[in-house]
Structure 1
Amino acid sequence: MFIEIEPDSTVPIYLQLAQQIIEGVAKGTLKPGDSLPSVRSFAADLGMNMHTVNKAYHYLEEKEFIQIVQKKGVVIHEKGVRKATATDRQRLTKEMRPILAEALCLQLSQEDIELLVKEIILDLKEVK
């Protein structure tokens, strides 16, 4: 899996890392049970602070995308791909609302927004 961090982005580095891991799960390049590097190893590989990787891992663990198991390491959670709960839907609605509001302010039509979402989904499902 290739991780690309944009240091000048307004998105915090830990969140960029977490989002790319989630994208790997969505694309199927990371599957439940797959191992991820230790915090120390991943930080060294990416040239970043261990605390940043640790923060990303805890964020992912909280959302049940990874599981941190003593003496086994970090693995993609068996619930990494699952049916959304009502809580998941509420959280996603809250997170998507400002993005959709911005799209409307940029005068994108509902059809434009739907097309954009379809393009993103197709990209995520594309086998690479």
Structure 2
Amino acid sequence: MLIQIDFNSDEAIYIQLRNQIILGIATSRIQEGEALPSVRQLAENIGINMHTVNKAYAVLKQEGFVSIDRRRGAVVSIEADKRQALQEMKDELMVVLAKGCCKNISRQEVHELIDQIFQEYQV
């Protein structure tokens, strides 16, 4: 699993890690049922604190992307609550689209960008 962390970013490292794992799942680089590296192993590989990895895994569990198994650790396990996922997506998109509107980004440009991104996730 290839994780890229930008240590100069203003975004918290645990959020970057969370986002990288979600992107891995969406692009099928990480599969449903696959065990993620142990907290210790991933922390050592990336060069970050174990508590940071633990926090990222906890957020992923809370958001329904992983389950925690005593023997296997964090395992990709996507919950199927589509209604809740759509509401969460709507809440996040409202802010992202508002930012775009403030920067005069058109509806057409947004649709093209979404189509471009979705093509990356098609299996």
Asked if these proteins are the same fold (TM beyond 0.5), I'd say: yes
Residue aligned with 1:71, SS: coil
Distance 2:72 2:115 in 1: 38
Deviation >6 Å, runs of 4+: none
The Cα shift of 1:83 comes to 5.9
Cross-structure match for 2:9: 9
Measured against aligned partners, the alpha-carbon deviations of 1:65-118 in whole angstroms (never above 9, x if no partner) come to 1111112222111x25x4622x22221111111110111111111011111111
Aligned partners of 1:94 and 1:104: how far apart in 2?
Answer: 16
- Between the two proteins, the alignment pairs up a number of residues equal to 123
**Cα 1:124–1:11, aligned 2, differ >3 Å: closer, same or farther?**
farther
CA RMSD of aligned residues (A): 1.5
Shift of 1:124: 3.0
Partner of 2:71: 71
The answer for the alignment partner of 2:88 in structure 1 is: 91
- TM-score, normalised to structure 2's length? 0.92
- Which moves more between the two structures, 67-76 or 54-63? 67-76
Is there any run of 5+ residues in structure 1 with no aligned partner, and where? none
Q: Judge which range, 91-100 or 53-62, deviates more.
A: 91-100
State the distance in 1 between where 2:88 and 2:73 align. Answer: 28
Q: Which amino acid aligns with 1:45?
A: N
Q: Does 1:19 align with 2:19?
A: yes
Query: What residue identity is the alignment partner of 2:54?
Result: N
Structure 1 segment 49-128 matched on structure 2, within 5 A:
49-77=49-77, 79=78, 82=80, 84-85=82-83, 87-125=84-122
C-alpha distance in 2 between matches for 1:114 and 1:9: 27
* Amino acid in structure 1 at the alignment position of 2:40: R
Alpha-carbon distance between aligned partners in 2 of 1:33 and 1:71, rounded to the nearest angstrom: 13
SS in 1 for 2:4: coil
Match of 1:41 in 2: 41
